[in-house]
Structure 1
Amino acid sequence: MGEETPALPADLGPVRSALIEWYERSHREYPWRRTEDPYEILVSEVMSQQTQLGRVVDAWRGFLERWPTVEALAAADRADVVGFWSDHSLGYNNRAKYLHEAAGQVCTEHDGEFPETPEDLEELMGVGPYTANAVASFAFNDGNAVVDTNVKRVLYRAFDVPDDDTAFGRAAEELLPDGRSRVWNNAIMELGGVACEKTPGCDREGCPWREWCHAYQTGDFTAPDVPTQPAFEGSRRQMRGRVVSTLREYDELPLDGLGPRVRVDYAPDGEYGREWLRGLLEDLADDGLVEVDSADGTVVVRLRR
């Protein structure tokens, strides 16, 4: 599987531009996104491991008030750092110990200056490949493509990349624009965290990749971190995908005009008839994908823009 070539669009320019423009137009405002200080970014990355970002904000601010520089943290009593970690329910206390030790390394081995490449950052205690790459990207704009769970979900759904770490890494690197790791890695992680969550909000969040997205076109939103769904052929997932694909061809369709295009055996009063189709449309409407209007006794369906 690792040898497969991801089916990325031939022209990546519009794909990249669409995502960056979407991100720059509207994204979640976390304070660490407004700094390029590698110490502040490292603290945010370590705190964010398996912790909801909304809960990290106050802890991050409090931590930096108490230890505002890498030198201050290196000089701190380790018990105080671990105590802060525990008081703020930030997960495993060894992360606090490693962060304290990494601060000491920066001060003693690098004269207080953070390494700038992922390879050098990974030499710091407790800093793995993902965290090293994130700090290199967000602090120095000199990272590789970040591949976390959110990014894997996006690549799997959007471009049908196989569930294989090598394939994910290759696709992520190919998508990464030269010299733009800071904005790109923020943007693709934001896409996975906002529009392409386990339950996607494609239209609700204005996903910029809908026109290329395999999942959006088929209605199959399975992903590596989403439970495997039942057989696709003849499933509601397949029918939902046909509804979306059909409506992409037409501005709008009446219920009985849509039905036969979704199932050839559609019959208004049959097993696969209006009641069955309305059920599909209710699901799609709940997901923010379609709009269903009734006017003059006629039910009209359209994609939600």
Structure 2
Amino acid sequence: MEYIQLKGTSLTASRAAFGCMRLAELSVEQAKRQIEHAMELGINFFDHADIYGGGSCEEIFAKAVDMKPSVREKMILQSKCSIRDGYYDASAAYIRKAVDDILARLHTDYLDILLLHRPDALMDPGETAEALERLHEQGKVRYFGVSNYNVMQMELLQKYMKQPLVVNQLQISLAHTPLIDEGMAVNMDIDQSVLRTGGLLPYCQWKEINVQAWSPYQKGFFGGSFIGDLDEYGELNSLIDSLASKYGVSKTGIAAAWLFRHPVNMQVILGTMNEKHRQEGCEGLDVVLERKEWYDLYRAAGNIIP
């Protein structure tokens, strides 16, 4: 396992993270085995959200690990809030209650990182920032970040905060590359050049904000995995197969290696509850794709390199 010190923090985190969204599908004993397997691989970073299983994922996690101080100190725990039933809520009252409920479900006194899960169009940035600062003062949250925010949304919130925003968790995979596209085809009259995020990826590099990749094997918005999809991504899968053979890893490992290769030095959230697939994702850290190979994969996914 490869570890990085998350910028703006004192946390040393595994670059592969355990995504807990599907824990609700498991019994406590099954969840225990999955978490143990992740830790055997060297994963120490666990990503939650209050919306996952309606909170049950956090409850199952705490029971599975028998949360106590000796266990807690080995883990970096991150959770998210602001998605509710059919709407978003970044109000101070909701954030305060959400964090208290998260801590109760996880059987811990503090979160290492709290992310606002989706931008709330009705957010009062001053009110939201004040609530986050108060959580920090109370020792309930060490660090803060966001998920799925664009540049100006981050700038607006940061204007009112003393604590830095240290994370942005974003969807990115070989088959979902808007973050890459807008910088690849600058000033061209093609769809790929549309500035959809305001230059979010270089912004995060510039501001030293840690990027976390969610759905690393998905096409589109929960459109299924592109790995093995020969109808839509035949050329990509053919190249992935070739590189997997060259480097002695799985196709999943090559897909993960493509993300790990980017100089933003992102973490990749592995949400699988399959031990083999998790191990294959971690093997992507052992592969350093050649520059041409990285670009060839991007092109094979259907993108233009001008």
Q: TM-score, normalised by structure 1?
A: 0.28
Judging by fraction of residues, say which structure has more strand.
2
Q: Which has the larger radius of gyration?
A: 1
Judging by fraction of residues, say which structure has more helix.
1
